[in-house]
Amino acid sequence: METTLVTGARVLDMRHQAAHPGAVAIAHGQILAVGPASRLKAILPLGTPSIDLGGRLLVPGFVDGHVHLLGLALRIVGDRLDLTDTASLAEVLGAIDRYADSLGPEEWVRGGGWDANTWPEERRPVAADLEGHAGGRSVTLTSRCGHSMWVNDVVLRKVGVGAGTADPPGGAIGRHDSGEPDGMLYESAMDLVHEHRPEIPLGRRKEALLAAIEHGHSLGLVGCHNCEGPETLAPLLELQREDRLRFRVTHHIPEYLVDHAAELAIGTGLGGPWLRIGSLKVFADGSLGARTAAMLEPYAGTTETGILEHESKAIAELARKAEAAGLSLAVHAIGDRAVREVLDGLEAAGGAPRASLHRLEHAQHVHPADLGRMAQLGVVASVQPVHLCEDAATVEQHLPGRVDQAFPFGSMAKAGIVLCFGSDAPVESFDPLDGIRAAVLRRDRAGQWPEGWTPRERVSVFQAIKAYTRGAAVASGGALPEGEIAPGYRADLVALSHDILEDPDALGDCRVDMTMVGGEILHDAAGVGS
């Protein structure tokens, strides 16, 4: 469809932070003009088709600022065991056995989403728990947070991990008192398994990604920033070549490929409207759930302060190397010590790069003294509000004296830090409306904390929408024509069932009625395009 007129909308004006009745003229996938329908009809060809939104709120298309797209896709198509809804070790073991019955004798049981913090057993699992399950197959199950892996003895033998295997840098092998591995692998120790698992065929990865993208369209998503490696980039490139990619993907480069990226001049922003290179993805620490997030002070009742994978000196060296390659950094930093080490390193390296803005991924716990530094250094806060719903209770348990430092979105906004919201799916819900609810209301799914958990850190509905739209565009690599409803911008639009700007209480009932990508309607729950 070369030209289209969208009428009957309340159009979000990002620059004036308000929505007004109006229409949007679209030509060749871009927004031509915004204004009264009578005026726009005069500039469009006679017979231009129109779409009447019936007074719905029209916002820029949402972009998930932090997702593991192939991991999500494989769960959606059933190629991974999803343990997200299990609540005990017994439930997990039952799910493993049912899933294993559907596999061939040589296939691995692969999956994730379990959370021992919620189990009545009140302990982490070990390899011995898997004895007599899965029919003797190899079992690898990533925790909900994605920073630890539970494997059985079959896997430990296959990959050669034993009492004499040293902990890799930035990781740890769980052990019994005897020194023998207990079946838990933390952080970089998971890499000991990754290289031994069978590769998923390219065709299967492509079809799984298409299923995830279709699901994203139903949620109002028009793109994402993907935190995976070549295993996902290859099928995305294939889909782009086949003209089947209708999702704007910013794909980060893993740290271990930095030299290759430099040699090939693959820098931030390289690519086109559907697929482009993002930042160099680096890990500074682990997760709160696994107690591997690097903290300035120990976790409650312990002497543990987490695992710091990169100190400031290493971050500075990586920033300089990335800058030479034309890449910005996207650094996973959850704990307050990790955040500080990253900021120290970026400051030592000279601050913001030429390529784009550096990013802190997650930034769940930030010392108040470091918020101003983030703003001064021009560091984007690529954060996932939906994590708050699950992690608030864990924060209160493990960091009771530091609750005010957790998920400080309001303080970040006040400090002038660019916010880019995402989901970390499949760890959490892929639905951006869930993220907006969490950021604005700061309540869990059961309605706990009716006034909001640490309510001073709430943001407005407008700020949350901006973080999923214009904030994502800025974080993606600069002055992209995305994230606003304005002339010259890409016609990536979402119509919502409720005007949540006027009535934030409607967040609970709000849904996506239409998703348009490049002027093409790809989701139409309300039949507005028919």
Q: What is the pLDDT of residues 443-498, one digit of tens each?
A: 876 778 888 999 999 999 999 999 999 999 999 986 789 999 999 999 999 999 99
Q: Which helix (H) or strand (E) holds 7?
A: strand 3-13
pLDDT, tens only, 287-311? 888 889 999 999 999 999 999 999 9
What confidence tens digit (pLDDT) does each residue in 379-390 have? 999 999 999 998
- Work out the angle between the directed axes of helices 69-76 and 202-218 (0-180°, nearest 10): 90
Q: What is the pLDDT of residue 198?
A: 85
Residues 122-150 have a mean pLDDT of 91
Does the pLDDT value for residue 506 go beyond 70? Answer: yes
Q: What is the pLDDT of residues 257-283, one digit of tens each?
A: 999 998 998 999 999 999 999 999 999
Which of 186-190, 226-230, 351-355 has the weakest average pLDDT? 351-355
Looking at residue 132, its pLDDT comes to 93
Give the confidence band of 199 by pLDDT, cuts at 50, 70, 90: confident
CATH number, domain 81-194:
3.10.310.70
| Lowest-confidence pick of 81-95, 404-418, 487-501 | 81-95
Contact at 8 Å (CB) between 284 and 337? no
Ordered by start, the domain boundaries in the chain are 3-60+487-524, 81-194, 200-468
- Domain 3-60+487-524 of CATH type 2.30.40.10: yes
Q: Does pLDDT of 118 surpass 90?
A: no
Per-residue confidence band for 354, with pLDDT thresholds at 50, 70 and 90: low
Q: Does 1.10.357.10 match the CATH number of domain 200-468?
A: no
- Residue 216's Cβ-side half-sphere holds a number of Cα atoms within 13 Å equal to 32
Largest CA distance in the chain: 81
Mean of pLDDT over the chain: 94
Please tell me whether the overall predicted TM-score, pTM, comes out greater than 0.85 for this model. yes
Say whether pLDDT at 1 is over 80.
no
Q: pLDDT, tens digit, for every residue of 167-178?
A: 998 889 999 999
